[in-house]
Each structure stands twice: as structure tokens, then as C-alpha cells.
Amino acid sequence: MGKAIGIDLGTTYSVAAIVENNRVRIIQNAEGDRLTPSVYAESADGRIMVGAIAKNQASANPDRTVSSVKRLMGSDARIQMNGRGLSPQEISAHILRKIKADVKRQLGEDVTRAVITVPAYFSDAQRRVTQEAGNMAGFEIMRIISEPTAAALAYGMNRSDIQHILVWDLGGGTFDVSILEVGDGLFHVRAVNGDTRLGGDDWDARLVSHLKQQVLQIHDLDIESDACTFQQVKEACERTKRELSVQNESRIFLPLASGPHHDAIEIEMTISRRVFEELTQDLLNMLILPTRQALEDVSLTPADMDRVILVGGATRMPAVRQLVETLFQQPPDTHLNPDEVVAMGAAIQAGVLNGSVQDVILIDVTPLSLGIETQGGLFTRLIPRNTTIPVTAERIFTNAQDNQTVMDFNVLQGEREMAGDNITLGSFQLTDIPELPRGKGHVEVMFEIDANGILQVSAQELHTGESAGIKIDAAHLLSGDQIDRAVAEAAGHAETDIQRRREIEASIQTNHLIQAAEALLFGTDRRLSKASRREIHTAVSAAKTALAGGQFEAMTEATRALKSVLNKL
Ligand code: AMP
């Protein structure tokens, strides 16, 4: 029988996975990402765009961009697009078509059989149109399964005794609570509840309105008055929300092209996790009532829940995890990626129906992040912790110095921000790099972990094709206690580590700008007036003083001043 995949057709993102050799593998898309934005767009001349390309142009083309179409599945809505109306299932079919094409590209063969997941509360009609979307995209839909069931499958819960499992799924736009009774390979969704209008986007919206007030006060600008500006602000706030899941502070910096008089303004705001949590406390509280309701519906209490599983990207927020612990007196299951766990379960179901899964499925994850040392002694992650393997990740790096002919690669494992605080797995050197000015060389670094946990790291200079690499045996990777210790240590140092990282990144940026400014000063461009030269000179001196002082704020301020002098020129 041919291959079969599992697809999580999500409101914000969609994910595809497959079981190969009894292991689940997330299938990367053509852009090299594991998640595909569930966004569809058309250009004015009718060119179709799906995924990241559609999402990235959303602010410039809001009228012909559709997201969150899943909310409309089963309704009579028609989405107006270039003078015609499309049904929600037609848009979903476009997303599924892209997934199908990406799977073919990755696996080297066309896969036509699939299991698709839907929310547990989806009606028959909604399930039917989801199936229809799959068929339109050229799939034979083997089964439509509920998302919480898929999550429980991925966590291997079909093999245990009868258990009660509570699944909390907080995605971009919806919150679902499901209580499952699981055992002997059977899944029974006993209760569903939730809020179809509550999701991570609401947390973003709180940041947006906070920023809106500040900008109105400081710049007398309404960020909502211009669709492009507003979109940029929304994206920045979403990034900040994500950053606040791993650090205590995040900085929003947005240079905007248009103010009230079409002049350039810069929006800048630093927000702490504490303030973010205060701004969103009521949203967090809204998770409680549907949970109580679901438990009451089946006459169970929090103490009856054997496990709590978290699904959906927004469950990464520490406040959400903390709330689970408070409500259920147990930490939630989080070791699988909450964005991918539903697709993994769908892939397992597809494998079972296909006959390719007989026994225990192994889902291996990278227990610690893997990456390399970069300029300033920083640790740059290529594969974050808890990524399912096999996996490949690549990133382009450039030369930090002029005419650098040799690059050293230090391969590391750990969660700390500084390379020196992590564990070195091995190192290698790439030589014969052509002499180029700083920042002009391009070296592609690739991390590849196969199904056996063997890590292969390679670096290739893209002009010459010259390459070097190293192979690291699974046995060299840390295990058990050491991993727990590394994670706990990173959590203990998170604040100081992040601060250190910010200072180093700021000093690298200041340094680059000073070099660029000096190149201009000492260059041969005769168009530079004496006054301009003096202005650059003063700003460069201030930046050098700030750099020597090593203070983050002073460096940021001096860099900004220097940048604005250079921009003016
Ligand atoms: P989903 O619909 O399950 O893909 O969830 C997407 C939502 O998760 C969006 O609102 C994202 O902004 C949010 N999200 C993803 N990663 C994080 C993170 N690290 N911290 C907070 N929210 C996140």
C-alpha cells in the first residue's frame, strides 16, 4: 500500500507528518519550515499564493488575503477574491494542495492518502466539507479524526490502562478543552468545551492596544489609521509575545515610514513579562470556566485527570502552564512540540489505517538545543530543544571579518545563551574561503539528525562550493539527569543570560555601524560636505565611547543616533 500522511489543517498554521520506519517525521515545506501558515492570497492579476508567501504580503494586500478560513468551514460564506466568491472549502483545498506538493517534493513521490484532523466539536457538516476540501486537493481522505484524539495518540496513550486525559488546546484563534477516556486502543471524547473566539491572537491584541495608547501619547499617531502600519505593529506584537515566553523582557522597535505628516518616526517600547501578564490576566481567567464546565458535564474533578496535554502554540506562555499546574496540581505534558503534536497523531492514525504501523511508535525529540558558536561567543540555535527527529535545519552565515579565509565551527548542545556555558560536541574548520569584505561571504551551515540520532553538521562556502563537516554519534549527546540539569541551569540563568546576549548583540551592531561610518568618512566620496563629515565624526566618537562602556542602553542610544545621521545622508 502507498504512503499515507497526517495533516493538521489548523486555523493559523497547518502541519504534515508521516510515519517512516516506525518513527514520526514532520514534513518540511518548500520554504524549509515545519509549519505552513494557513493563509491564501491572490495578486491583482490572479496569481495564487499560499503559506508564508501569502502571509508576508498580507499587509500590502489585505483585501486579497484570507486567513483563519477554518472558522468559516461549514458556513455559506463566500470569500470575495478578484471579483468572484470562493467557498471556505475551496480556500482550504488550496492550502492542502500546497501541502501535497511540498510532501511530494520532500518524499520524492506523490502521496494521495491522508488523515486530516478537525476540532472535536466540528459538526458532521463541518467534517464533510473538510473531507471535500481534501478531495478537491487530490487526497483520498482515509479518516477525519478529532484533534485531541490525535494529540493523545502522539503521546502514546492508546497503550495504557483506562485513563482520563484532559487536552487543553489554545491556538491562534480558538480555545478547546476536551476530556478523553482512553484505553485498549480506544478513544472516547467524553466532553468538549471551549471558546471559539479566544486564542493567542487576543493576547497579541492586548499588546497592540497597549502600544497604540503609548504611540498616540508620544507621537500623536493612530497606528490603526494606516493598514500597512497596523499590520507591521500586529506582527511586532506577536513576536514580542513569543519572546516573552522565553525571556522576561522584550523590546519592540519599529521604524515607520509615515507619521501624521508622512515623516519618519520610530516606535520603541520595552515590555516585561509581568506587565504582559497583567494586561492579559482576564484572558487567562477565561480558560477556567470552559474547563470547569467540561469536567462538570462528565461529573469529574481535576483530581480525576490522569494527564493533561497541551496543544497549540499559545500554550507555550508560562502563565498558561502555571495555570494548569494550579488547577490540576500536576505539570502538563509538554515534551512534544505543541504546534506539531496533532499532526504527529494524525500521521500515526494514517500509519495504522495504512498497515505500516504495527507496534509502538517512537517519537524521538532532541532533548537539548543544538547550534554553533557565532560572533561574540554567542550560542546560535539551529535546532531547538524538543524538535522531533529526523530533522534538517540550515542557515546562512557570513564572514565576521574582512578577507577571512578560515572559519571555525564549534558545534554545541545546551540551553544557555553563551556558547561557553554549553557543551561542545565537536568542532571543524572550513578553509580556502575566498577573500571578501566582511558580511559578503556566504556559508551555509546544515544540521542533519537522522532517525538513529546521528548528527551530521556541514558548512559550505556558496561561491566556491568548498565544504567541511563533522559527524557526531548519538552516544555523545547528553542524556537523563544531565539534560534535566542543563535545562534547570538555563532557567536559573535565563535573565542574566538574555541580558548578556542583548549587550553582545548591541555591541556587534554598534561595531558594524562604526565601521560602515568610518568607511564613509575615510572613503573617497567627494559629495560629503564638511558639515556632514563633522556630524558623522561626532556620532562615531559617541558610539565608540558607548561601545567601550559596554552599557546596553548607551550603545542602543548611540547606535540610533549614528544610524539617523547616516540615514539622513
Ligand atoms: P496554532 O493555531 O496552534 O498554530 O497556534 C498559533 C498561536 O500560538 C499564535 O497565536 C501564536 O502567536 C502562538 N504562539 C506560537 N508560539 C508561541 C510562543 N512561543 N509563545 C506564545 N505564543 C506562541
* 175 grid coordinates: 480555545
What is the separation of C-alpha 243 from the centre of its chain, rounded to a whole number of angstroms? 10
Residue stretches of the chain with pLDDT short of 70 = 1, 158-160, 257-264, 358-364, 452, 474-480, 524-525
Q: What is the pLDDT of residue 425?
A: 87
Q: Is 37 in the pocket of ligand 1 (CB under 6 A)?
A: no
C-alpha 365/C-alpha 386 separation (Å) is 5
Q: What is the pLDDT of residue 117?
A: 95
Report CA-CA distances (Å) from 162 to 12, 74, 89, 157, 301. 33, 34, 37, 9, 16
Enzyme catalytic residues: 8, 70, 147, 169
Q: What is the pLDDT of residue 522?
A: 80
Q: How far is the CA of 29 from the centre of ligand 1 (A)?
A: 19
Q: What is the pTM of this model?
A: 0.75
C-alpha 490/C-alpha 416 separation (Å) is 5
Q: Is 171 in the pocket of ligand 1 (CB under 6 A)?
A: yes
Q: What is the pLDDT of residue 418?
A: 93
Contact 154, 342 (CB under 8 A): yes
Q: What is the pLDDT of residue 97?
A: 98
Q: Is 438 in the pocket of ligand 1 (CB under 6 A)?
A: no
C-alpha 517/C-alpha 520 separation (Å) is 5
Give φ, ψ of 552 to 5 degrees. Answer: -55, -50
| CA-proximal residue: ligand 1, atom 18 (nearest) | 242
Which residue from 259, 251, 258 is spatially nearest to 559, judged by alpha carbons?
Answer: 251
| CA-proximal residue: ligand 1, atom 22 (nearest) | 314
C-alpha 487/C-alpha 122 separation (Å) is 38
CA atoms within 13 A on the CB side of 370: 31
Q: How far is the CA of 234 from the centre of ligand 1 (A)?
A: 14
Q: How far is the CA of 409 from the centre of ligand 1 (A)?
A: 32
Residues 530-567 as b/e (b if ≥16 CB within 10 A, e otherwise) read eebeebbeebbebbbebbeeeebebbbebbbebbebbe
* 112 grid coordinates: 494521495
Q: What is the pLDDT of residue 111?
A: 97
Q: Is 201 in the pocket of ligand 1 (CB under 6 A)?
A: yes
Task: Kindly give the number of the ligand 1 atom that is closest to the alpha carbon of 241.
Answer: 21
Contact 457, 443 (CB under 8 A): no
Q: How far is the CA of 310 from the centre of ligand 1 (A)?
A: 12
Contact 13, 36 (CB under 8 A): yes
